[in-house]
Amino acid sequence: MPYSEEFKDHVANPRNVGNFDEANHFGVETNPACGDTLKLFLKVSEGRIHRAGFLAYGCPATIACGSAITELITNQTIEDALAIDRQMISAKVGGIPSRKNHAAALAIETLHHALTRADLSIRLAVEAKQLSR
Amino acid sequence: MMAGSRRVYLDHSATTPTDPRVVEAMIPFFSEKFGNASSVHFFGQEARSVVEKARREVASLIGARPNEVVFLSGGTEANNLAIRGVAEDLLTHGRHIITSQIEHSSVRGVCDQLEARGWQITRLPVYENGIVRLEDVRSALRPDTVLITVMLANNEIGTIQPVSEIGALVREVRNSGQRHLRFHTDAVQAIGRIGVDVESLGCDLLSISAHKLYAPKGIGALFVRRGVRVTPQNVGGHQERERRAGTESVPSIVAFGEAARLARLELDERSAHVSKLRDEFESGVCSRVNDIVFNGDMSKRLPHLSNISFRFIEGEGLLINLDMQGVAVSTGSACSSGSLEPSPVIRALGRNDELARGSIRFSFGKDNSAEDVAHVLEVLPRAVENLRRLSPLFQQSVSDRAKSPEEIFVAS
């Protein structure tokens, strides 16, 4: 299956790139098999994600899914964000070749990391900010 | 310039456009002169004569005799016939084959298959420069070695292997009594880009693909030195002196012959042209992009090819970025079903996964221009920058460099 135009657009013009000052939740996951890494930075308050940013290293699908998930979760409640599944990410990028499905799974795992392991997540967010200075 | 308004093809190692002169030569053989070259009547004989003319042209390009050229479907089939054909023919003399770690997948695939069937395969290393060492070939030789198969030039990094030295070694070993040792070289990438002469190379078999030579896909040849036998892999017809059954694809063979003739006449001009573009491109990249690594020996390589690893990013993402701005290149690495398949060639140079994943092959052709190079040099730095901006590896490196004592010293 060839990449769709939306998919390629997310790779060439990724949305919401990088960390930002108000980020208070942080998630990172690495696919142990291929080394692809996704980092998410979120500003969460009163049960809602107000802003999201990402960094990604890996195949185009990892970049496209990272970009897509930041769009999907912005202004969503935590509950709705946690309900995002692979199909929703795939639809957002105009479809993912089946051999690249793991990239959508990585995006969801990273989001869950950022939202559900809050203590660690906040500590990492502080470190990440120090790092980016 | 608007994205998409200019298209620059820098993937001539994957395939080349068919030269208009070649298309013109082949067209009459589709409908007007459609005979089967095996038929006795006029139509057949007309086809036979152009097939033999093309055979002379291909032979002439590589310094062979016409009857040493077997037409077949392309490089992959040539490699299959050469390796499996020799292995099966010399079954009673031994089951050991020497090859390299950087062969094309069609050579690798046949060797892997023979290994599963009981042959023993020695895969020689290539070291950091991407070149096999003659002493390694010598020390890998055994009394039961029946075949050495080492490519003339590599398809990903373009490094030229010491084929004529191996040829001389093979002659020496044969003269000392091991008469059944055969030597095959896959010259698919080299042909039409550097001079290829089967006598000075000393090979018994040599694979060629026409579509790397401005001819269409689906046609190629195997040089089989007089006196060397291969067990046919396609049987059920007398074509190609019983070495490859199947009706000859006359239009494609005519095209191949014409492309071979043009390649012979224009070789020096084409090589000088592509190497000039390649060198301009490389110096332009060096001055515009940091953190890059060139892969493979910088002098013993094909004139049209440049393989560069861009640190902190992955090749396929860069390929898509470049493609969206009209530049076509290729990458050796792939990530499939969540498991990484970094280029085996780049890994064989001793590069880590990050560099193997970030490698891109730029391969120039006779129709590229200085404007093409300028366009690539305009879009490539931006594409690399785009991906690095979102790479956590790059962010980490920026922060590491900021913290390093040297940097602090310079800053103060």
Q: How far is B230 from chain A (nearest CA, A)?
A: 39
pLDDT band of residue B408 (cuts 50, 70, 90) is: very low
* Tokens of residue A122, six digits: 């906040």
Tens of pLDDT, residue by residue over A77-96, are: 999 999 999 999 999 999 99
B335 part of the active site: yes
Catalytic residue among B111, B203, B286, B335: B335
Backbone angles phi, psi at B221, to 5 degrees: -150, 155
Mean pLDDT of B96-104: 97
Smallest CA–CA distance from B333 into chain A, residue: A59
* Tokens of residue A128, six digits: 């990440």
Average pLDDT, chain A: 89
Burial class (CB in 10 A: 0-12, 13-18, 19+), A86: middle
Answer whether residue B411 shows pLDDT above 60. no
Answer whether residue B4 shows pLDDT above 70. no
Q: Which residues of B112-140 are buried (b: 16+ CB within 10 A; e: fewer)?
A: eebeeeebebbbbebeebbbbeeeebeeb
Chain A residues with CB-CB distance to B336 below 8 A:
99
Tens of pLDDT, residue by residue over A7-33, are: 999 999 999 999 999 999 999 999 888
If DSSP codes are grouped into helix, strand and coil, which group holds residue B339? strand
Tens of pLDDT, residue by residue over B324-370, are: 999 999 997 666 555 667 788 999 999 998 999 999 999 999 999 99
Dist. CA B48–CA B98, nearest whole Å: 38
* Tokens of residue B262, six digits: 């043009």
Dist. CA B286–CA B364, nearest whole Å: 18
Nearest-CB residue to B316 (from A17, A56, A60) = A60
Mean pLDDT of B84-100: 98
Judge contact between B362 and B319, C-beta under 8 A: no
Residue A58 to residue B335, Cβ atoms within 8 A: yes
Element (H, E) at A131: helix A118-132
Return the beta strands (E) in A5-47 as ranges.
25-30, 37-45
If DSSP codes are grouped into helix, strand and coil, which group holds residue B87? helix
Burial class (CB in 10 A: 0-12, 13-18, 19+), A60: buried
Dist. CA B362–CA B278, nearest whole Å: 8
Mean pLDDT of B378-384: 97
Dist. CA B196–CA B191, nearest whole Å: 6
Tens of pLDDT, residue by residue over B247-278, are: 999 999 999 999 999 999 999 999 999 999 99
pLDDT given at position A125: 59
Answer whether residue A123 shows pLDDT above 70. no
pLDDT given at position B399: 85
Nearest-CB residue to A56 (from B336, B390, B396) = B390
pLDDT given at position B407: 46
Q: Which residues of B224-262 are buried (b: 16+ CB within 10 A; e: fewer)?
A: bbeebebebbbeeeebbeebbeeebbbbbbbbbbbbbbb
Mutation site, B319, B335, B388, interface A, largest A CB count within 10 A? B335
pLDDT given at position B370: 98
Average pLDDT, chain B: 94
Q: Which domains does chain A have, with CATH numbers?
A: 5-131 (3.90.1010.10)
Smallest CA–CA distance from B385 into chain A, residue: A12
Mutation site, B320, B360, B399, interface A, largest A CB count within 10 A? B320
pLDDT given at position B409: 43
Task: Provide the H-helix boundaries in B141-249.
Answer: 163-175, 198-201
Burial class (CB in 10 A: 0-12, 13-18, 19+), A52: buried
* Tokens of residue B36, six digits: 């089967």
Residue B390 to residue A14, Cβ atoms within 8 A: yes
Dist. CA B85–CA B94, nearest whole Å: 14
